[in-house]
Amino acid sequence: MNTDTIFSRLIVTRSEPAAQGIQLFEFRHPEGAALPPATPGAHIKVKTPSGHTRQYSLCNAPDETDRYVIAVKREAQGRGGSMSMVDQLKVGDTVEVGGVENLFELDERARSFILVAGGIGITPVLAMARTLLAEGERKFKLYYLTRDPESTAFLDEIKNSDLKSHVVIHHDRGDPSNSYDLWPALEKPGTLTGQHVYCCGPRGLMDAVRDMTGHWPSSTVHFESFGGDTKIHADDQAFTVRLAKSGMDLEIPVGRSILEVAREHGIHAASSCESGTCGTCKTALLEGEADHRDMVLLDEEKSSHIMICVSRAKAGRLVIDL
């Protein structure tokens, strides 16, 4: 998140389970005022009770300006943001919310869509499906892939709505051999038909879709991730970062990011997603070996750059260009 982001206080008007381990939240303006409009695939930044800022996709219909609806998966091995949302945030509480942004826009040139959602990746994709259904002009098919019915958010809502005929829901039961075969849908690139692919979900799914669409024009395949590797590893250790421009040394504890600690010390660094997916916080790495946990850097960049929102030191000290 850029430190210049303007936050508004909204009130939690709804909090309920959306599925096992997933909590749905509804936010409204405390005085009933209209909220800034969104487009399908948009997200908001939320200051969680833990103090971390996290990015959540809006899953309600984008034309609704009276509320924002998000779904939060409780990540027990994460850095605490999602856990504090699910465990602490109650109806009637206020929460600081940043402006609407969209890095996952529906392409206006597309004439039809293949939408692929894995797990909690359904949130932006559901908003897209709702919009396309309401428009009624462009064809789409949504493939919603989850572990089991209990952990499938919005399952009943999808099954009992007009979306049903547009959606394929598959549960793999945690068995990789039972994964859904997307190849028949992706085998033929949509060059002539104006078809685009949108995929949101865990790294494994995104990598698989990326491999299966390698023969598609790159401009017709779009990805949105819910983050790089933000979990705390069992072997994580505190490390030191030297900021080359200021000469300041920062101690980065387990469970905190370079970005967070730098911000606390008054160091401004551009950022956005804070989950290793957007590339905004890319910083030159001058010395040391990084433990890269992002989803952005190319292999040839990893010796000279680091995403300071998620990545850490493999050993010893890092020196970065801040």
For 29-57, b/e burial (b = at least 16 CB within 10 A) is: beeeeebeebbbbbbbbbbbbbebbbbbb
Contact status, residue 173 vs residue 147, Cβ threshold 8 Å: yes
| Token code pair at residue 173 | 């039961």
Supply the pLDDT for residue 228: 60
CA distances from 317 to 229, 268, 287, 297 (A): 21, 21, 8, 20
CA distances from 10 to 81, 99, 161, 311 (A): 18, 12, 29, 31
Contact status, residue 157 vs residue 184, Cβ threshold 8 Å: no
Supply the pLDDT for residue 248: 95
CA atoms of 63 and 59, how far apart (whole Å):
11
Domains 7-98 and 112-225 in one fold: no
| Token code pair at residue 184 | 């028949």
User: Among candidates 210, 229, 216, 206, which has minimal Cα distance to 276?
Assistant: 229
Q: Residue 229: count other Cβ atoms within 10 Å of its Cβ.
A: 17
CATH code for the domain defined by 239-320: 3.10.20.30
DSSP state of 121: G
- 7-98: CATH topology: Elongation Factor Tu (Ef-tu); domain 3 (2.40.30)
pLDDT in single tens digits along all 322 residues of the chain: 344 568 999 999 999 999 999 999 999 999 999 999 999 999 999 999 988 888 899 999 999 999 999 999 998 877 778 999 999 999 999 999 999 989 899 999 999 999 999 999 999 999 999 999 999 999 999 999 999 999 999 999 999 999 999 999 999 998 989 999 999 999 999 988 899 999 999 888 988 999 999 999 999 999 987 556 677 888 899 999 999 999 999 999 998 999 999 999 999 898 877 778 778 899 999 999 999 998 788 889 999 999 999 999 998 899 999 9
The two beta strands, 68-73 and 22-28, are antiparallel
> Domain spanning 112-225: which CATH class is it, in words?
alpha beta
Q: Where are the domains of the chain?
A: 7-98, 112-225, 239-320
Contact status, residue 229 vs residue 75, Cβ threshold 8 Å: no
| Residue that is written with structure tokens 């300071």 in the block | 308
Between CA 234 and CA 293, with CA 152 as vertex, the angle to 5 degrees is: 30
Q: Burial level of 290, CB count in 10 A (0-12/13-18/19+)?
A: buried
DSSP state of 263: H
pTM of the model: 0.79
